[in-house]
Structure 1
Amino acid sequence: MYENYAQRLAVVYEATHKPEDFISADFEFKKMMRAGSCSAEDLRCYGILHHQMACYCIDKAVDLFDKVIGQGKAVDKDVFWRTKHQKMILYSQTGKAQKNIDEALAVINDGSEDAEDWICLIAAYSYSGDAAKAYEWILKAIPKFPDKAALYVYGGDTCRDLKKYDEAFKYWRKALELDDKMYDARYSMGFCYEELEEYGKAYDIWLDIARDLEEDGYEIEKQFPMELAEKCKAVLTDHPA
């Protein structure tokens, strides 16, 4: 006998794995939470519900990413590589960081001369938390692909992880020389300035990013840098130089 309707719906979802059944169970548990009537067993069941949904979502995401990757670079090269990186991020967050490294390293050892494959290897080490190894490969990759802006973004991010701040900014600025609207480099610089407590410089970057996003038609995306700018402004107001 189920203790309540929410527990019953949780069992239904466990049997079907249908998202609509998850939504129904989630709704009932939320009602109980709002009413303050959840027992310890209810909370345990609710946690299991989310755990099962998380597993479903991970499997679904991998399946969708694989469908894109399976179409190959010829269909849409930009989407192909963005999808590959997204799958790598997912793998790194679900205990499969070494799989990313092994697959990317195999491609390089097979003789790939595609800059994107080299970036994937650097990203694999970066996502795994091995900044020192990522840095080694950056030093190998940049002479081979000196005009690849994304390499310099990874170079800057890796140097930041290694506390090589001066070198990090050199890499990010080089990325912007090659692509003056490279948002990844600009965000990295902004966050690094905050890390260094140079809030005035960070504030200027956030405003510049927000302005450019607005000019490019990204009304929703501009809100994030605007929020970051406001936080820097508050710090500068409370602690003027």
Structure 2
Amino acid sequence: MTGARTRVLVVDDEPQIVRALRINLNVRGYEVAVAVSGAEALRVAANFRPEIVILDLGLPDIDGIDVIGGLRGWTDVPIVILSARTDSADTVEALDAGADDFVTKPFGMDELLARLRAAQRRGPHATENAVVVTETFTVDLSNKTVMRDGQKVHLTRTEWGVLEILARNRGKLVSQREILQTVWGPRHERETHYLRIYLGQLRQKLEDDPSHPKHLITETGMGYRFQ
């Protein structure tokens, strides 16, 4: 492989997982650094300057959520959580703390690598494309318009707010709390029924088959993803 290798920091205290990740990432041209604790992760990150971080939440010293906070204090590097925790509350907490995606153990290597590539595309050096094009509709983030079949789609202010936050984070899991806080405000972060209503309305207006959406995807109990 020619050119600079993408630097990946793997933070996990399970030797088998670290070994598997190191082998697979190296084969695919990544430069890999490893940390087995939260404190070590923060030290290595400061020196290694990773371009993406794979982080386990269950570390032997400090919780992975605190590691996210430590990283977010100085870097917007993409962070993909790799954890055995399956409670949706843990996923939401990690996303709200600043993680970009969440993969549960056991995991498929192909899926994880795809998530890494997606996170890289959304990385701190990526330039936001003001126009998001799907096979069904087009979202113009600068002009705040949506086109479908050559016609402008009328959205209410709230519908646009929900669509905008998802489109700006395309490919990324956006937590229910983040959407509610951004669109409705902090007093409404528990009103998850709002999201079911407005996502249903958006799907009716934008999806070819609203009951089987291709672009406005529900991640049950966690949030939504635009793809």
Q: Is the TM value for this pair above 0.5?
A: no
Larger fraction in helix: 1
> Structure 1-normalised TM-score?
0.30
Larger fraction in strand: 2
Higher RCO (C-alpha 8 Å, min separation 6)? 2
Q: Which has the larger Rg?
A: 1
> Structure 2-normalised TM-score?
0.32
